[in-house]
Amino acid sequence: MDSQVLDFIPSEVANEMQTRTRRHQKFDEVESRLVDPKASVPQQLSISNVLNEISTNWNPFTKAIVKGDVVWLFDNTAFKAAEHEPWQAEFIMAVFESEPKCKVADIVAGIAGIIGLADDAEERKTIEERLLPFLWDIQSARTTTVSQGDLALKLGPSGFNGISTNVLKLLHNSKGSFTTKETTCDVEGVEGVLSMKTHFALPEGWGIISDIDDTIKITTTSDPISILKETFINAPSPVPGMPELYAGIKSFLPHSTPWFYLSASPYNLYPFLKGFRDTYYPPGTFILRDSSWKTVSGLLSSLTMGTEEYKVNRMKKIHSWLPKRKLIVFGDSTQSDPEAYGEIYRTFPGWIRMIFIRKDTNSAAFGLAEKNEPQRFEKAFTGIPRDAWHVFENPDECLDIVKKAVKRNS
C-alpha cells in the first residue's frame, strides 16, 4: 500500500470517530454551560497586567518566584546520546498565584449543576479542591534555582501558560543501575509540588509508554458528564487488572527501565494524576498537555480533540531522547491510540517492539462497536507484523505476551 495512504487512512478514521462522539454526546453544549473563569473577573488594562502577560526568553521583566507563589516541579527522565556524552534532562516547572481572582463558588456551582448534584452536596468541597489548579492565575516570566544534590539548576522563565521548559546538563556517574536523584525548591513561603525525581536512563534497553485515561485509569472519555465526575468528584480508580499487569512488567524488565505516562490530559491535573500513579503504578515521567490553563472547558476538548497529533508529536520527543531503546506501548480503543502508535511504529522502524491496545467494553460508552471493529485495528497497524500488536480485554493475558516479545526481541 502507498505510504501516503498509510498515513492518511488511520488518522482520518480516528478524527472522524472523535468528531462523531463529541457531536452525539453534546460536548459543545456541555462546554458552553461551564462558567468561564475569565468571564467572572473584571478585565482592567494596567501596566501590571501587561507585564504579567509578557514572557519570552528575552523578557527583561523576568523575576524570581517569591513567597505566596505556587510551584510545581515535574518528575523527569535523564538521557544521554552515548556513554561518553553528558547526561541531560528536560526540566518542567509551573508557577501560579495561589489566590484565584474569579468567583470560585460560581464555577463550582456550574459543574455541580451539570453533574446534577444537590445544592448542599458534600461533593462540592471535592470539586472546589480539584478545581483550583484550573482557576489559579499563572505567573509568567518567573525563574528560580533548584538543587539536585550539589548541583544548582536555574529553571525558567515561565511562559504565557505559566510553564517553563529547560533542557539542562546534569552531573551523574551511573553505570546503568536503577538510579534516581531528587531535585528540590527551597524558597521560603512557596507551596506546591516542591520536589521532583529524575530517573537516569542509559541509551539502550527497554522502555514503557502508557496512555492514562481509559487505559490505566477509568475516565470514560466518550462522555463529558463522566469526565467531569471522574475528574472533580470520584476517587481516581484504576482499570481492573492494570496495576497488577504493570507490577508484573516492572518486576520482569530491568530495574533501569524508564516509564512514560503520555496523556492528552492537561497539566492542571498533574498533582491529581501523580497521586494516582504513586498509589497504583510504577514511577515514571508524565507528559501532559499544556494548552488548557484557566479554562475548565479546555479539559473536555483536551481529551477529545487532536489527540493523535499531540501524542505522535510527544512520542517523537521521547524518541529524540532514547532512540536506541526498545519500546512497549499501551493504549486503548476509545480514542486514537491505535492510529498514533501505528504511525510512530512506521516512522521509527525498530523502536516500538510491541503495541498493546485495551479494548474498552464499557456498555455506556458511545461508538464502541465501531471503535472496537477488527478492521479499525487492521488499518491502524497496516504494515506492522501481526505478532507486534495485541488487542486485549483482560489484562491477565498480557504479561506472558510481554515476556515473549522481550525474548523475541533480545
Q: Are residues 182 and 127 in the same domain?
A: no
**What digits encode the pLDDT tens for the residues 174-226?**
555 557 899 999 999 999 999 999 999 999 999 999 999 999 999 988 899 99
Q: Are residues 149 and 233 in the same domain?
A: no
Pick from 46-55, 230-239, 262-271, 293-302: least confident: 46-55
**Residue 393, number of CB atoms within 10 A of its CB:** 13
Does residue 162 form part of some domain?
yes
Q: Are residues 168 and 114 in the same domain?
A: no
Does residue 41 form part of some domain?
no
User: Mean pLDDT in the chain?
Assistant: 88
Does residue 364 form part of some domain?
yes
Count of the separate structural domains present in the chain: 3
Q: Are residues 222 and 166 in the same domain?
A: no
DSSP 168: E
| For residue 61, pLDDT beyond 50 | yes
pLDDT at 175: 59
Q: Are residues 228 and 247 in the same domain?
A: yes
Q: Which of 29, 9, 31 is nearest to 336 (CA)?
A: 9
Q: Are residues 165 and 259 in the same domain?
A: no
Q: Are residues 208 and 338 in the same domain?
A: yes
Q: Domain end: 86, 114, 135, which one?
A: 135
Does residue 2 form part of some domain?
no
Q: Where are the alpha helices (DSSP H) in 186-336?
A: 224-232, 242-252, 270-280, 297-304, 307-321
Q: Are residues 273 and 372 in the same domain?
A: yes
| Domain harbouring 288, CATH code | 3.40.50.1000
- Rounded Cα distance between 283 and 277, Å, is 7
Write down the pTM of the prediction. Answer: 0.90
Alpha-carbon distance values, 369 to 16, 248, 374, 381, 386 (Å) = 14, 30, 10, 18, 22
Q: Domain end: 135, 162, 189, which one?
A: 135
Q: Are residues 190 and 120 in the same domain?
A: no
**What digits encode the pLDDT tens for the residues 88-142?**
999 999 999 988 878 899 999 999 999 999 887 889 999 999 999 999 988 999 9
pLDDT at 40: 52
Q: Which of 144, 147, 143, 145 is nearest to 184 (CA)?
A: 147
Q: Is residue 160 a contact partner of residue 53, using CB atoms and an 8 Å limit? A: yes
Cα–Cα–Cα angle for 244, 250, 256, rounded to 5 degrees: 165
Q: Sign (positive/negative) of CA torsion 51, 52, 54, 56?
A: positive
Q: Are residues 228 and 144 in the same domain?
A: no
| For residue 1, pLDDT beyond 60 | no
Average pLDDT over residues 381-386: 97
Q: For residue 301, give the C-alpha cell.
A: 476538548
- With cut-offs at 50, 70 and 90, classify the pLDDT of residue 45: very low
Q: Are residues 238 and 107 in the same domain?
A: no
- With cut-offs at 50, 70 and 90, classify the pLDDT of residue 43: very low
Q: Domain end: 150, 176, 199, which one?
A: 199
- Rounded Cα distance between 142 and 122, Å, is 37
Does residue 8 form part of some domain?
no
Q: Are residues 263 and 324 in the same domain?
A: yes
Does residue 51 form part of some domain?
no
- Tell me the residue range of the domain where 213 lies: 201-409
Does residue 117 form part of some domain?
yes
Q: For residue 168, give the C-alpha cell.
A: 539542562
Does residue 54 form part of some domain?
no
Average pLDDT over residues 16-40: 81
**What digits encode the pLDDT tens for the residues 261-272?**
999 999 999 999
| Domain harbouring 84, CATH code | 2.60.40
